[in-house]
Amino acid sequence: MQDITAGQFQIVYNAFSFTIAVMGAATVFFLFNRSQVAPVYRAAITLTGLVTLIACYHYFRIFSSWEAAYTLMNGKVVPTGVAFNDGYRYVDWLLTVPLLLVELIFVMRLSRAETVAKSVRLGLLAALMVILGYPGEISTNTGTRWIWWALAMIPFLFIVYDLFVGLKKSIASQPEAVRGMVSTARWITIVSWFFYPVVFIFPMIGFTGGGATTAVQVGYTISDIVAKAMFGVFIYLIAVRKSEAEVQLRGTEGQSLAPAGAD
C-alpha cells in the first residue's frame, strides 16, 4: 500500500462511512416507498433498493479493509502490509451495474420483448465490462492496466451508445410529465459512468502516491453514490410521476394498468 498522511487516511475513512450511511438509508427508502408507485413499477424500485443494499454491504467490507490496511504507529498512519482489497468494488459492480441498467429499462416500461432483449444485452455487456476491468485494477504494470482498460472500454462504449441512442428513441414514447426526468436519469448514468474509466487511469498518467490513492478511493465513492443512490431517487421519482399520470389517464380514458412484464 502507498504511504499516506493521517489526513488522507481520514478523508477516505470518512468517505467510506458516509457511503455506508447513504446506501443504507437509500435502501430503506426504496424498499419502504415501493408501495407508493403503481404495481407495474415496483420491480424497478425493488431493484433500485437491491443495488443500494448490495453497495451498503460492500462498503462495510471496503471500510474494514481500509482500516486493516493501515495502522497508527508513533502518531503516523503506516501501511500494515495487508493490501486494501479492490476486489470488493469489482464484485459489487459485477452485481450492481447490470441491475442498474435493468432498473432503468424497467421504469421505462417498454414492450415485453424490448424489455427482455435490452435487459439481457445491456446486463451481459455490463458484466463483461466489469470482468475485463479487474485484471487491470489489480496490476501495478502500466502497460497491463492500459490493455485491460481498453478491453473494458469496448463493452462500456457499447452500453453508453445504447443508452445515448437506443434509449433516446424510447424517451419520445414516455408520458410528457416524465420525459425530462427520464432524460436526466440517462444523463446521470452517462456522466457518472465516465468517472470510472477516468479514475482508473489516474495511476497510469503519473498521478501516484498518497494523493492519488485518496483521489481514486474518493472518486470511485462519489461515482457510486451518484450512479446508485442519486440515480435511484430519479428512478423512484419517475415511477411516482408515471404512476400518477397513468391513474389520471385511466380515470379519463379507461386505460389499463396491467403489468408490461417488468415485474
Kindly tell me which of 81 and 143 has the beta carbon lying closer to its own copies. Answer: 81
Q: Whats the size of the chain, residue-wise?
A: 263
> Residue 231: what residue type?
F
- Give the one residue of 14, 141, 173, 208 binding its own copies; rule: CB under 8 A: 14
The stretch among 32-40, 168-176, 179-187, 211-219 that binds its own copies (CB under 8 A) is 32-40
Kindly tell me which of 34 and 145 has the beta carbon lying closer to its own copies. Answer: 34
Buried b (16+ CB within 10 A) or exposed e, 59-73: bbbbbebbeebbeee
- Give the one residue of 17, 142, 144, 170 binding its own copies; rule: CB under 8 A: 17
Q: Are 209 and 2 in contact (CB under 8 A)?
A: yes
Cβ at position 201, least distance to its own copies in Å: 23
Cβ at position 46, least distance to its own copies in Å: 6
The yes or no reply on residue 20 touching its own copies (CB under 8 A) is yes
- Give the one residue of 39, 175, 197, 210 binding its own copies; rule: CB under 8 A: 39
Please name which of 74, 47, 84, 43 lies closest in space to residue 228, comparing C-alpha atoms. 47
For 155, 162, 188, 198, 243, the CA distances from 223, given in Å and listed in that order, are 19, 20, 10, 11, 29
**x/- binding map, residues 188-227, to its own copies, per CB under 8 A?**
----------------------------------------
The yes or no reply on residue 5 touching its own copies (CB under 8 A) is no
Which residues in the 84-143 window bind its own copies by CB under 8 A? 85, 87-88, 90-92, 94-95
Kindly tell me which of 98 and 167 has the beta carbon lying closer to its own copies. Answer: 98
Alpha-carbon span 175 to 108, nearest angstrom? 10
Alpha-carbon span 115 to 84, nearest angstrom? 38
For 15, 20, 172, 246, 256, the CA distances from 252, given in Å and listed in that order, are 49, 45, 22, 10, 11
Which residues in the 50-89 window bind its own copies by CB under 8 A? 50, 53-54, 57-58, 61, 72, 75, 81-82, 85, 87-88
Please name which of 1, 153, 24 lies closest in space to residue 83, comparing C-alpha atoms. 1
For 51, 63, 68, 123, 240, the CA distances from 139, given in Å and listed in that order, are 27, 22, 21, 26, 44
Which residues in the 220-249 window bind its own copies by CB under 8 A? 240, 244
Q: Which three cell numbers stand for residue 238?
A: 419517475
> Residue 93: what residue type?
W
Cβ at position 122, least distance to its own copies in Å: 17
| Residue numbers at the binding site for its own copies (CB under 8 A) | 10, 13-14, 17-18, 20-22, 24-25, 28-29, 31-34, 36, 39, 42-43, 46, 49-50, 53-54, 57-58, 61, 72, 75, 81-82, 85, 87-88, 90-92, 94-95, 240, 244, 259, 263
